[in-house]
Structure 1
Protein backbone atom coordinates (compact mmCIF):
# COMPACT_ATOMS: atom_id res chain seq x y z
CA UNK A 1 0.00 0.00 0.00
CA UNK A 2 1.26 3.50 -0.85
CA UNK A 3 1.38 6.13 1.87
CA UNK A 4 2.57 9.62 0.92
CA UNK A 5 3.33 10.59 4.53
CA UNK A 6 7.03 11.50 4.81
CA UNK A 7 9.09 8.97 6.74
CA UNK A 8 10.89 9.91 9.92
CA UNK A 9 14.64 9.39 10.23
CA UNK A 10 13.92 6.51 12.61
CA UNK A 11 11.67 4.80 10.05
CA UNK A 12 14.29 5.16 7.31
CA UNK A 13 16.92 3.77 9.68
CA UNK A 14 14.68 0.77 10.40
CA UNK A 15 14.33 0.17 6.65
CA UNK A 16 18.12 0.32 6.23
CA UNK A 17 18.58 -2.20 9.04
CA UNK A 18 16.02 -4.55 7.50
CA UNK A 19 17.66 -4.32 4.08
CA UNK A 20 21.10 -4.93 5.61
CA UNK A 21 19.80 -7.99 7.45
CA UNK A 22 18.27 -9.34 4.24
CA UNK A 23 21.54 -8.78 2.37
CA UNK A 24 23.46 -10.74 4.98
CA UNK A 25 21.01 -13.66 4.93
CA UNK A 26 20.36 -13.92 1.17
CA UNK A 27 22.52 -16.00 -1.13
CA UNK A 28 20.95 -15.12 -4.50
CA UNK A 29 23.35 -12.66 -6.21
CA UNK A 30 20.61 -11.03 -8.29
CA UNK A 31 18.47 -10.34 -5.24
CA UNK A 32 21.48 -9.05 -3.32
CA UNK A 33 22.21 -6.63 -6.14
CA UNK A 34 18.66 -5.29 -6.13
CA UNK A 35 18.61 -4.94 -2.34
CA UNK A 36 22.02 -3.25 -2.38
CA UNK A 37 20.64 -0.66 -4.80
CA UNK A 38 17.58 -0.17 -2.58
CA UNK A 39 19.79 0.18 0.50
CA UNK A 40 21.92 2.82 -1.25
CA UNK A 41 18.76 4.80 -2.08
CA UNK A 42 17.49 4.54 1.50
CA UNK A 43 20.87 5.65 2.89
CA UNK A 44 20.86 8.64 0.54
CA UNK A 45 17.33 9.48 1.66
CA UNK A 46 18.39 9.17 5.30
CA UNK A 47 21.37 11.44 4.71
CA UNK A 48 19.17 14.03 2.99
CA UNK A 49 16.60 13.95 5.78
CA UNK A 50 19.30 14.34 8.45
CA UNK A 51 20.87 17.22 6.51
CA UNK A 52 17.48 18.94 6.42
CA UNK A 53 17.05 18.52 10.18
CA UNK A 54 20.56 19.84 10.83
CA UNK A 55 19.99 22.88 8.61
CA UNK A 56 16.86 23.75 10.58
CA UNK A 57 18.86 24.01 13.79
Structure 2
Protein backbone atom coordinates (compact mmCIF):
# COMPACT_ATOMS: atom_id res chain seq x y z
CA UNK A 1 0.00 0.00 0.00
CA UNK A 2 1.32 3.42 -0.91
CA UNK A 3 1.62 6.19 1.66
CA UNK A 4 -0.14 8.80 -0.50
CA UNK A 5 -3.39 6.81 -0.27
CA UNK A 6 -3.91 8.29 3.20
CA UNK A 7 -4.60 11.99 2.84
CA UNK A 8 -4.62 14.07 5.98
CA UNK A 9 -6.33 17.14 4.57
CA UNK A 10 -9.74 17.18 2.90
CA UNK A 11 -9.83 17.21 -0.87
CA UNK A 12 -12.30 20.07 -1.19
CA UNK A 13 -9.75 22.46 -2.67
CA UNK A 14 -9.56 24.63 0.44
CA UNK A 15 -5.91 25.66 0.76
CA UNK A 16 -5.69 28.52 3.25
CA UNK A 17 -7.73 31.09 5.07
CA UNK A 18 -7.51 34.51 3.48
CA UNK A 19 -6.49 37.32 5.81
CA UNK A 20 -9.43 39.13 7.27
CA UNK A 21 -10.19 42.70 6.37
CA UNK A 22 -9.19 45.46 8.79
CA UNK A 23 -12.79 46.65 9.06
CA UNK A 24 -14.00 43.22 10.18
CA UNK A 25 -11.24 42.95 12.76
CA UNK A 26 -11.93 46.44 14.15
CA UNK A 27 -15.67 45.78 14.35
CA UNK A 28 -15.01 42.62 16.34
CA UNK A 29 -12.57 44.45 18.63
CA UNK A 30 -15.19 47.10 19.40
CA UNK A 31 -17.69 44.36 20.16
CA UNK A 32 -15.28 42.76 22.63
CA UNK A 33 -14.66 46.14 24.28
CA UNK A 34 -18.40 46.72 24.73
CA UNK A 35 -18.90 43.20 26.07
CA UNK A 36 -16.01 43.68 28.51
CA UNK A 37 -17.44 46.99 29.73
CA UNK A 38 -20.84 45.39 30.36
CA UNK A 39 -19.24 42.51 32.29
CA UNK A 40 -17.24 44.94 34.43
CA UNK A 41 -20.34 47.02 35.17
CA UNK A 42 -22.30 43.94 36.22
CA UNK A 43 -19.43 42.79 38.43
CA UNK A 44 -19.25 46.21 40.11
CA UNK A 45 -23.02 46.22 40.63
CA UNK A 46 -22.87 42.79 42.24
CA UNK A 47 -19.91 43.77 44.43
CA UNK A 48 -21.62 46.93 45.70
CA UNK A 49 -24.92 45.16 46.38
CA UNK A 50 -26.98 46.85 43.69
CA UNK A 51 -27.78 43.46 42.15
CA UNK A 52 -28.64 40.58 44.47
CA UNK A 53 -27.68 37.16 43.17
CA UNK A 54 -28.41 35.12 46.30
CA UNK A 55 -31.17 36.53 48.44
CA UNK A 56 -30.81 35.82 52.15
CA UNK A 57 -34.12 35.42 53.93
TM-score (norm 2): 0.50
The structure having more radius of gyration, on CA atoms, is 2
The higher relative CO (CA closer than 8 Å, separation ≥ 6) is in: 1
TM-score (norm 1): 0.50
